[in-house]
Amino acid sequence: MSLTQKISLLFGLALIASTGSALAETSACPEILKHSFSRLQDEAPQNLCQYAGKVALVVNTASYCGFTGQYEGLEALYAKYERKGLVVLGFPSNDFGNQEPGNSKQIADFCFNTYGVKFPMFSKTSVKGKEANPLFAQLIKSTGTSPKWNFYKYLIDRQGKVITAYSSVTTPDNKAMVADIEKALAQ
């Protein structure tokens, strides 16, 4: 076997190994996270499987809502627990009271400049009814409850099991919700 053939063979084996690893990672992704959405700030597609093994707090958001101040608390929650495995996933929606009229750039600028949001945010989407994106459709099916307004929250454990939903009035510093997050992080 020539040197070129040996190099080609080694390259091929390395490619097969990396593909097998990627397939293993995909198969380890819980069903609830097997979705891709465009990232808010640049529309780059993001596979939610990258959050497999983390505790996820999924929130539908809006820039012009009485609950918009929760961005600050969500960011604080994310900053406090990120190293322990929490991720907050924000999904802007105009489904309730037309309180998210802007485009992706406007929403991203507002979130970062007003509240310093660094947790993952995705492009504007629908979160209720027949138009709900596939993640929210699964969350609704799993919990039996649809978002009633902006800043509705769903908690998913490290294995991808939907634990519960929290109403819009449940603030990010709510003791019961924080206790649920801490319990999920400890597992």
Q: Which residues are catalytic?
A: 65
- 3-state percent breakdown (helix, strand, coil) of the chain, nearest 5: 45, 15, 40
Q: Computed from CA positions of residues 30, 158, 50, 103, in that sequence, does the dihedral angle turn out positive or negative?
A: positive
Residue 164: both structure tokens together: 């519960």
Computed on alpha carbons and rounded to an integer, the radius of gyration of the chain in Å comes to: 19
**Contact between 162 and 139 (Cβ < 8 Å):** yes
* Beta-strand relationship, 55-61 and 45-47: unpaired
